[in-house]
Amino acid sequence: MRIIAVLFINLCALIVFAPALYSQDTEIDLVHPIDLALTDCLDIDSNQSTFGMMGCLQVAEEAWDYELNATYKELMGSLDSAGQESLRRAQRAWLAYRDAEFELNGSVHYENLDGTMYHIFAANREMEIVKQRALELRDYLDALRDFGAEEE
């Protein structure tokens, strides 16, 4: 019975501490250059205002949008015609989602909340929406590269 208790405690400790240990080793590898540039921009003293933060977030959103479009083009070139059509449909649906989310985001943060800090929240939300899609497309492209090469 004592052995089971010791094993249980060790297992619990592993479950609790494993994510922290893992993230310490890999956190630096997981930070995208655009996120690093955003952090650097926000760390500049003159960008500690709402205007400065909004500018940093706008530049980051534009960088993610550029990344998204470049990855989309590369992914289109890696797919067969059926895959290309699926990607087109998915991207059109995502664009409709993005536009609707941006509209809702503006309604919540610009029209219904008082204070310029909510403008920062809105800009960050829009940047995160574009970033997420760019990373999703990158995952598809990486899968084709990593696993598609094995089938050849």
CATH code: domain 31-151 is: 1.20.1270.180
pLDDT at 68: 98
Distance CA 121, CA 45 (A): 20
pLDDT at 87: 98
Tokens of 14: 């592993």
Residues 120, 109 contacting (CB under 8 angstroms): no
Instruction: Work out the percent of the chain whose per-residue pLDDT is above 90.
Output: 70
Q: Sketch the domain layout of the chain as residue ranges.
A: 1-30, 31-151
pLDDT at 7: 46
pLDDT at 94: 99
**What is the sign of the dihedral through the CA atoms of 22, 25, 29 and 32?**
positive
pTM over 0.75, yes/no:
yes
Identify the segments of the chain with pLDDT beneath 70: 1-29, 149-152
pLDDT at 131: 98
Convert the pLDDT of each residue in 3-36 to its tens digit: 554 444 544 445 545 455 444 444 556 899 999 9
pLDDT at 23: 47
pLDDT at 11: 44
Q: Which of 137, 102, 152, 144 minimizes the C-alpha distance to 123? A: 102
